[in-house]
Amino acid sequence: MPVEKSVEKSVEKSVPAKRTAAKKTAARKTADGSPKPPAAKAKKTAAAKTKQSAPAKQSAPAKQSAPAKQSAATKQSAPAKQSAATKQSAPAKQSAATKQSAPAKKTSGGARAESHAAMVRRARKINRELAEVYPYAHPELDFENPFQLLVATVLSAQTTDLRVNQTTPALFAKYPTPEDLAAAVPEELEETIRPTGFFRAKARSLLGLSAALRDNFGGEVPGSLDDLVTLPGVGRKTAFVVLGNAFGVPGITVDTHFGRLVRRWKWTDQEDPVKVEAAVAEIFPKSDWTMLSHRVIFHGRRICHARKPACGACPIAPLCPAYGEGETDPEKAKKLLKYEKGGMPGQRLKPPPDYPGTPAPPLAGR
């Protein structure tokens, strides 16, 4: 079949609107008796037919019945258009893919990561809620003066405040002042404080700090952090307990309960008590530090336990990112509550007047 007729048929299929003009042109060119094209040209013509019919957006040239040179031009222009289309569409697809992939501020679980500002707002709301739950929060060590509070706090390491409160009445009856305690016989002192555990190490600390108070501070407990931490057995936690509750100096007490809860609430992921203290101090104003410590420790002892938190009875459950780690059934959770929240005695033998629970009983046999 002559080249002109092949082109004629292709044009008839792709451009119906110019069918009559194409037929007339083909008829005139057939009349001159042109011979059949070589095989190679026939293949090119077939390829041209395919490329002209496939893309929907390729417009037919004004004169597609022209010689083979125009077909070649068509071949060159078609890929160029496809390439341009590819370049234009590719960025759009990549952009869409980027948007569909995980957003920048999402955690591995799919929840949107909390901003620092949002965490601070949540932390302060937890503090306000705890203030309503525990308006009677207080230091849970029995004491009547700074010296008694200092001694009781040293004894509270690795034991409960309840056991310390059951032990100190006999201790303070024997050794009411730093001078008396500094002069105590070590073996007798050890036997007196034995119920608190680690009694030998604690006896050495009590003898050392009492001697330091007698010799360096005129028998009085100093009211500054720098002075308190120079005493044997006194660290930052003990110092802040004394400063906050005996002198009214704000401080954050990072005990095991406090550190555990602030990590559970995502206020910080620090493990070191000093770093925990610094992180929490940035969240709250200084005036809140002492009472915040009491409220968090109260909550950790009564509801938000280490092994099995009473999530179903927790008043701040909607604000807690760790909700569900413990018992969520309200009735079962109530059975996990301790001290006054569970209808049981508290830790102090002499609690404050506004304490709603029952005083703790004395140590049996004493």
In terms of Cβ atoms closer than 10 Å to its own Cβ (0-12, 13-18, 19+), residue 154 is buried
14-23 CB burial, b ≥16 within 10 A, e <16:
bbeebeeebe
Q: Which residues are catalytic?
A: 237, 255
User: Which candidate, 122, 29, 27, 20, places its Cα nearest to that of 67?
Assistant: 29
Residue carrying the six token digits 């100093």: 222
Is 83:41 a contact under the CB 8 Å cutoff?
no
Evaluate the CA torsion angle 347, 351, 352, 357 in order and state its sign.
positive
Report the candidate in 232, 234, 230, 271 with the shortest Cα–Cα distance to residue 254.
Answer: 271
Exposed e or buried b for every residue in 90-125, given b needs 16+ CB within 10 A? eeeeeeeeeeeeeeeeeeeeeeeeeeeeebeebbee
Is-contact 165 139, C-beta < 8 A? no
Centroid of chain to Cα 21: 76
| 275/289 Cα distance (integer angstroms) | 15
Residues 273 and 254: beta-carbon distance below 8 Å: yes
**What is the residue whose two structure tokens read 């809860």?**
261
| Distance separating alpha carbons of residues 128 and 63, to the nearest angstrom | 83
